[in-house]
């Protein structure tokens, strides 16, 4: 048996995601219910380095379940990636009497948690908080459902003007390395195509889309594109259409950080609450260095290194579904 956990620290790191506050609330209240003390760490690992730490009570998280963003704030910390920065972070964990750290965030945030755990043999629990839904071992991540609904709402509005003006709209969404948002929002919004990282083959996706759908029967189309540093995302495909198919009127909408904000959906509130509660249960069971996820509606523990290193596959059937329904 390891050291008894009497005080837990919570931080949110990386990009914010709707539902993070619901998760903070669940962790705080579950910990207090179990006789533990809770320390809220502001501004992620940067705040941990700088000692921006405050004790949380049940009242600290009152009236937060419906709020987007994160009451603990978030930041990306370059200093934490250095040995000196990590040492400062660990020293503050010791100074404030924090026996275990719960990190809510995406791939980079959980990588930082794993590095801290390994370097100092320190108990860490990761919770998947990212709109990209790209962490292995969990069916869904906190914030994904809300972002998906935000995208669908925006695309519904864009379709009105696309139809009125006989235009092709390329709508760029987040998900640089994972196409879950693009693929599923395309199906939900009735888009004609989705261009995602997982579907990069020798086939020219733009040519395939033009020949299959738009050229044959449609006078307006919506194409959802995952953001990409490699080829420039939606702007790249719009420029190609202007050059290769000048007969078409093309527009681009980049949704950007609009996707991160807003009131979390019921699904995200419930998921975040379950995962937050489960993180304290995991510590009570002696679990450490695991990500708490959900699979087939059951709570699961996934080693953090697997969650961040293994690629989460997209269901290829979704690609087939969109192709059939977009004719």
Write b or e for each residue in 54-72: b if 16 or more Cβ atoms lie within 10 A of its Cβ, otherwise e. Answer: eebeeebbeebbebbbbbb
In eight-state DSSP terms, residue 211 is I
Contact in structure between 288 and 298 (CB atoms under 8 Å): no
Confirm whether 132 is a catalytic residue.
yes
> What is d(CA 239, CA 251) in angstroms, rounded to the nearest whole number?
10
Q: Are strands 290-295 and 298-303 parallel, antiparallel or unpaired?
A: antiparallel
Any residues with CB less than 8 A from the CB of 122 and at least 6 apart, and which?
90, 93, 100, 101, 116
For residue 125, count other CB atoms closer than 10 A to its CB: 28
Give me the catalytic one of 16, 91, 121, 132: 132
Q: Give catalytic residues, as residue numbers.
A: 132
């Amino acid at each position: 048996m390891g050291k008894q956990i009497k005080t837990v620290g919570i931080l949110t790191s990386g990009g914010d995601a709707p539902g993070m506050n619901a998760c903070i609330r669940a962790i705080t209240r579950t910990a207090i219910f179990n006789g533990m003390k809770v320390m809220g760490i502001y501004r992620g690992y940067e705040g941990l380095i700088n000692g921006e730490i405050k004790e949380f009570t049940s009242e600290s998280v009152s009236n937060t379940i419906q709020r987007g963003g994160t009451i603990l704030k978030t930041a990306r910390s370059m200093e934490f990636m250095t040995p000196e920065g990590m040492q400062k972070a660990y020293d503050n964990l010791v100074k404030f009497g924090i026996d275990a750290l719960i990190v809510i965030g995406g791939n980079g945030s959980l990588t930082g948690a794993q590095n801290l755990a390994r370097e100092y043999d320190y108990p860490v629990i990761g919770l998947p908080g990212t709109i990209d839904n790209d962490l292995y071992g969990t069916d869904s991540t906190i914030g994904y459902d809300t972002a998906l609904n935000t995208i669908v709402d925006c695309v519904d509005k864009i379709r009105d003007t696309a139809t009125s003006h006989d235009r092709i709209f390329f709508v760029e969404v987040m998900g640089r390395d994972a196409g879950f948002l693009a693929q599923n929002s395309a199906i939900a919004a009735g888009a004609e195509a989705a261009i995602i990282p997982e579907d990069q083959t020798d086939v020219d996706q733009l040519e395939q889309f033009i020949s299959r759908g738009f050229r044959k029967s449609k006078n307006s189309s919506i194409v959802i594109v995952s953001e990409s540093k490699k080829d420039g995302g939606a702007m790249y495909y719009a420029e190609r259409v202007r050059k290769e198919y000048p007969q078409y009127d093309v527009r681009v909408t980049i949704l950007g950080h609009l996707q991160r904000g807003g009131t979390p959906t019921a699904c995200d509130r419930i998921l975040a609450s379950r995962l937050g509660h489960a993180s304290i249960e995991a510590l009570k069971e002696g679990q450490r260095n695991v990500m708490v996820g959900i699979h087939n509606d059951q709570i699961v523990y996934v080693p953090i290194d697997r969650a961040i290193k293994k690629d989460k596959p997209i269901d290829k059937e979704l690609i087939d579904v969109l192709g059939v329904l977009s004719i």
